Amino acid sequence: MTAIARFVRNTLGRDFAVGDIHGAFGALQAALAAIGFDSSTDRLFSVGDLVDRGPESAQVLAWLDLPWFHAICGNHDFMAWRSALGLPFKAVDHAAHGGEWLYDLPLGEQRRIGERLRALPMAFEVETAGGWVGMVHADFPSDDWRDLAIIDWRTLDNMDSFASQCLWSIERHRRRYRGVVRNIRAVVHGHMTIPAMETLGNVHFIDTGGWHPSGRFTFLELGELKAFTGPGPLRERANVRRNR
C-alpha cells in the first residue's frame, strides 16, 4: 500500500478528477468522449471505488494498465482486495454491498485483482498552475492537509481512526462544513453520491452517480477547477440501441 502518490504538472494537456466508477467503465468511456478527453495528452484521476455494483468491475485491471488513468483506493476497492486476498473486512459484508461479481471469478483472477487494488495509493497530490490539488476518497477530517502525513494507514480496520474516516466518513458533507483545508489549493472527494457537484470551502464533492442508471459522471478539470458532465449510463444505452 502506498500512502501518497504525487504527480507533477501536466504541461501537455488537461487533468481531470472523476467520482466513483463502480464497474461502469463503458459509461465512463462514453462520458470521456463527450467531454473531448484526449488520452494522448490528458490524464484522468479517479477518487476511488473502481469496482462493485456495476456490470464491468472485472475490467478494472485493463483500466489500471492505461498510462493516462490513475486511481486512489476507495472503501469498495479496500473491501474487494481484502476479500480477494483472503483477509475479509469484517465490519462490512462486501458481497451484500455490490461485491458479488468478485466471487464469480476464478481464484487466480481474484488474486490478481486483489493485488492491484491493494497497491492503490490512499491519496493523490496533483500539481496545477494554481497549486497542488489533493484527493482522498470520502473525507478529510482535518483543516490542514499536512496532517495527511501523520495518518497511520495500518489502522483501517478501526472505523474510528483518521485513516478509516478518509475511506468512509461523510461528516464534512453532512454538516455542510465550509472550513478551508489549509496548505492545499483544493481537495476532491467521491463516495457521497449527490445530484450535482458541490463545493464546501475548498473541498469538492464530485460523485454524481455515473455508475447508477439515473446518474452521470462529473469531471473536475483541475487547472481551472471547472466541472464537466458526461451523458450518463441511460443516454449511453440509448445510443447503443440507436446504433444497432
Residue 84's pLDDT is 97
Helix, strand or coil, per DSSP, at residue 163? helix
CA distance 217 to 107: 32
Q: Check: CB of residue 64 under 8 Å from CB of residue 113.
A: no
**What global pTM score does this model have?**
0.93
Q: Which one of 3.90.1200.10, 3.40.1080.10, 3.60.21.10, 3.40.50.300 gives the CATH number of domain 4-242? A: 3.60.21.10
Burial class (CB in 10 A: 0-12, 13-18, 19+), 108: exposed
Block residue for cell numbers 491519496: 123
Q: Check: CB of residue 62 under 8 Å from CB of residue 89.
A: no
One digit per residue, the tens of pLDDT, for the chain of length 244 reads 679 999 999 999 999 999 999 999 999 999 999 999 999 999 999 999 999 999 999 999 999 999 999 999 999 999 999 999 999 999 999 999 999 999 999 999 999 999 999 999 999 999 999 999 999 999 999 999 999 999 999 999 999 999 999 999 999 999 999 999 999 999 999 999 999 999 999 999 999 999 999 999 999 999 999 999 987 665 444 443 332 3
Give, as one character, the DSSP assignment of residue 52: S
